[in-house]
Amino acid sequence: MAAKFRVVGLDLSLTSTGMSDGQSVHAVQTAPGSDSLEARMDRILCQALAFVHSPTQWTDDQPCDRQADLVVIEGSSFGSRGSAVDQLAGLRMLVRHKLYLLNVPFAVVPPSTLKSYTTGSGQASKAQMVAALADRHGLDLLPYKVSHGKYDMADAYALAAMGYTVLKQPLPTAGPPARLASLLTVAWPKLPAEPSVPVS
C-alpha cells in the first residue's frame, strides 16, 4: 500500500487556534491573561509547530511521529480592521518563518477561497462551513461549543482537505463535491513528490 501524505491545516488565532491533519481536530485556547502578547504568541507558535511535527502528543491512536508534508494556513480577511489584525498578521509570519526554516512547504489560503472551496460560496457563514464538512466528510462538530473552538476546528479541517486534494490524495468524501476551481487561486509551494519518511 502506498504511503500517504500528511497535511496540516492551521487556523491561527490569538485566542483559539484550530489544527487538523484530516484525522483529528483540535482547538488550542490562548485567551489573554497575565502573559504578555509576545509570550502568548510564542506559546501558540510552539503548540502549532508541535502538531506540525507530530500528532502523537495530541492523540493516542497515532503509531509514530510524522512531520507534515504540507501545511495550509488560513490567511487574513481583507475586511478586518483594528490592532488585532496586525497582531494576528505577526503571528502568521512567525509561523511561516519557522516553517521556512524547517523546510516545511506551506500555503496561505484567503478565507473567501476556503469558504468557496468548502461550501461553494465565498460568503458562507461559519455555521454553513460546519454543515458542509458534516455533509461531505462526516465531520461531527456538534458536540463542541463555539467557545471551545468549533469554528476554528472546522476551518482547520477544511484547510487540510484542500491540501490533501492538491496532493491528489483527497479525504474520503460522501457529500457534494468541492469547488476545485478554488484550488487554482492559491499560490501553492513546490509540492512534495512523495510523503516524508516518518520520524522514528
> For the chain, which residues make up each domain, given as ranges?
7-185
Would you state the pLDDT for residue 1?
Answer: 44
Rounded Cα–Cα distance for residues 79 and 175 (Å):
31
Would you state the pLDDT for residue 197?
Answer: 62
Report the sign of the C-alpha dihedral through residues 53, 5, 60, 25, in that order.
positive
Decide if pLDDT at 198 tops 70: no
Q: In this structure, what C-alpha cell is assigned to residue 130?
A: 460546519
Mean pLDDT of the 35-54 span: 90
Output the pTM of the full model: 0.90
Rounded Cα–Cα distance for residues 141 and 12 (Å):
18
**Tens-digit pLDDT profile for residues 99-143:** 999 999 999 999 999 999 999 999 999 999 999 999 999 999 988
CA separation, residue 69 to residues 9, 10, 46, 170, 178 (Å): 11, 14, 18, 14, 22
Would you state the pLDDT for residue 179?
Answer: 83
Q: In this structure, what C-alpha cell is assigned to residue 185?
A: 487561486
pLDDT band at 56 (very low <50, low <70, confident <90, very high): low
Would you state the pLDDT for residue 11?
Answer: 97
Rounded Cα–Cα distance for residues 139 and 145 (Å):
15
What number of other Cβ atoms are within 10 A of residue 198's Cβ?
Answer: 14
What number of other Cβ atoms are within 10 A of residue 15's Cβ?
Answer: 17
Per CATH, domain 7-185 is 1.10.1660.10 = no
Among the ranges given (13-22, 35-44, 157-166), the one the predictor scored with the smallest mean pLDDT: 35-44
Would you state the pLDDT for residue 80?
Answer: 60
Helix (H) / strand (E) containing 106:
strand 106-109
Would you state the pLDDT for residue 83?
Answer: 73
What number of other Cβ atoms are within 10 A of residue 132's Cβ?
Answer: 23
The helix-helix angle for 126-137 and 150-166 (nearest 10°) equals: 50
Residue 106 phi, psi dihedral angles, 5° rounding = -145, 155
